[in-house]
Amino acid sequence: MIILLLEIIQACDLRDLDALVQHAISKGGLLRDDLRRLAWPILLQCDREKAGDDNSPWDRLPRHADEDQVQLDVNRSFVYYPQGTDEELSAKKKELSDLITQLLRKYPMLCYFQGYHDIAQVLLLVLGEEQAASAFAQVSLFRIRDYMLPSLAPSLKHLQLIPAIIERADMRLRRHLSEIRPFFALAATLTLYAHDIQEYSDIARLFDFLLAHEPVVSIYLFAAIILFRKEELLEIPPDEPEMLHFTLSKLPKPLNLEGLINCALSLFDDYPPPSLPQGAWKCISDASVLKTSQDIFAPQRTEEAVRLFTQQARELRREELKQKAWNLLWKHRRAAGSAAVAILVGVASFWLRRSGLDTSIWAYINRLRLTFLG
């Protein structure tokens, strides 16, 4: 154990990223919070002050539109961990509220979602108030950015990767779950499992793994959870979709984290995202965090994350307008059909006149009338 601890410390001192990743996926992960306080900032590229960072007082910035909801969720935080007096928990809640609020005020385009505070409290408890701020910004901008858009549509596209992974890994199980849409995985993947895992040691260890890999691995992890529950799921008749959905929406207990991590990595290696069926990967926006953060050790620029967020928000707006247009057209399809015919006739008449064919066409029609009607 001592040798392993020293190896992790050495990897942090040398900023040996490959070694840190290997430690993060090995049994027990990074082992202790004091080591995580060294390693997580390195994995998140926030261990060094970046040029251009805005250190102006956040409490002087305009309020974010979602701050009331933030406070409601903060009031419900720290349910399972840590243990402490009412005064200690109140102090932690104040720190948590400040952590989230300052992030949202600095990046007002980000939209808060319920469960965001679960991610924040893990970072706060492991890293402490000072280090957590920069780490939280990195996670928000480069790992869960898609979940903070004005719509959940990109998140739902992420979930469509799950049945595609299952299809590649186990066709029998995929057929058994064919009537179930993967919305059951939303809460877990949206919050990096922090909302669903109740043991502090488990969620800290899982964050070791998630922070050491690209964001899409979180989706592969849920596919691994489904595969681990194969026998349990096959016992539920496929004509009981409500029971299947309920079972899938709850994480199994006990949670075999080490086995699930190994399974997720195997799935990712065997069935990488571009190889998934149903065009699942192609449906993901090129501006998505799943595609733009595939190399977690590539240089990360805040300005680029903001630009990609804006690009994806525009794509969403266009898709929404297109869908509204189609819905309106379908609703008034009879009137629209008549109008389209009228327009088509008008355009055809105009073209015939311009081309000089209208006289010949009408002469031909008159001959047909005289032939058949006499």
State the DSSP string of 36-98. Answer: HHHHHHHHTT-SSPPTT---S-GGGSPPPTTHHHHHHHHHT--SSS----HHHHHHHHHHHHH
Confidence of residue 185 (pLDDT cuts 50, 70, 90): very high
Confidence of residue 288 (pLDDT cuts 50, 70, 90): very high
Measured CA to CA, the distance from residue 239 to residue 246 in angstroms comes to: 14
Q: What pLDDT is attached to residue 368?
A: 46
Q: What pLDDT is attached to residue 274?
A: 97
Percent of the chain with pLDDT over 90: 80
Measured CA to CA, the distance from residue 277 to residue 262 in angstroms comes to: 22
Rounded average pLDDT over 7-29: 96
Span of 49-53, 214-218, 234-238, 267-271 with lowest mean pLDDT:
49-53
Q: What pLDDT is attached to residue 136?
A: 98
The values of phi and psi at residue 84, to 5°, are 175, 175
pLDDT at 51 > cutoff 60: no
Sequence-distant (≥ 6) Cβ neighbours of residue 38 within 8 angstroms: 8, 9, 12
pLDDT at 347 > cutoff 90: no
Q: What pLDDT is attached to residue 76?
A: 93
Q: What is the mean pLDDT of the chain?
A: 90
Q: Of all helices (H) and strands (E), which one includes residue 346?
A: helix 333-355
pTM score, whole prediction: 0.86
Confidence of residue 338 (pLDDT cuts 50, 70, 90): low
In the block, tokens 């016992």 appear at 235
Confidence of residue 327 (pLDDT cuts 50, 70, 90): confident
For the chain, report the end-to-end CA distance as a whole number of angstroms.
Answer: 106
Q: Name which residue leads in pLDDT, 349 or 15.
A: 15
Confidence of residue 296 (pLDDT cuts 50, 70, 90): very high
Measured CA to CA, the distance from residue 294 to residue 123 in angstroms comes to: 22
Rounded average pLDDT over 264-286: 97
Confidence of residue 323 (pLDDT cuts 50, 70, 90): confident
Rounded average pLDDT over 129-144: 97
Measured CA to CA, the distance from residue 99 to residue 118 in angstroms comes to: 12
Q: What pLDDT is attached to residue 372?
A: 47
User: For 145-300, which CATH class?
Assistant: mainly alpha
Q: Name which residue leads in pLDDT, 83 or 355.
A: 83
220 φψ region: left (φ > 0), alpha (ψ -120 to 50), beta (else): alpha
Rounded average pLDDT over 237-252: 95
Q: What pLDDT is attached to residue 23?
A: 97
Sequence-distant (≥ 6) Cβ neighbours of residue 288 within 8 angstroms: 146, 154, 312
**Cα→Cα distances 318→158, 304, 313, 323, 347, Å:** 19, 21, 9, 9, 29
**Architecture of the domain delimited by 32-142:** Orthogonal Bundle (1.10)
Q: Name which residue leads in pLDDT, 363 or 251.
A: 251
Q: What pLDDT is attached to residue 164?
A: 98
Confidence of residue 18 (pLDDT cuts 50, 70, 90): very high
Percent of the chain with pLDDT over 70: 87
Q: Report whether 173 contacts 226 (CB < 8 A).
A: yes
Span of 72-81, 92-101, 364-373 with lowest mean pLDDT:
364-373
Q: Report whether 214 contacts 296 (CB < 8 A).
A: yes
Rounded average pLDDT over 167-176: 97
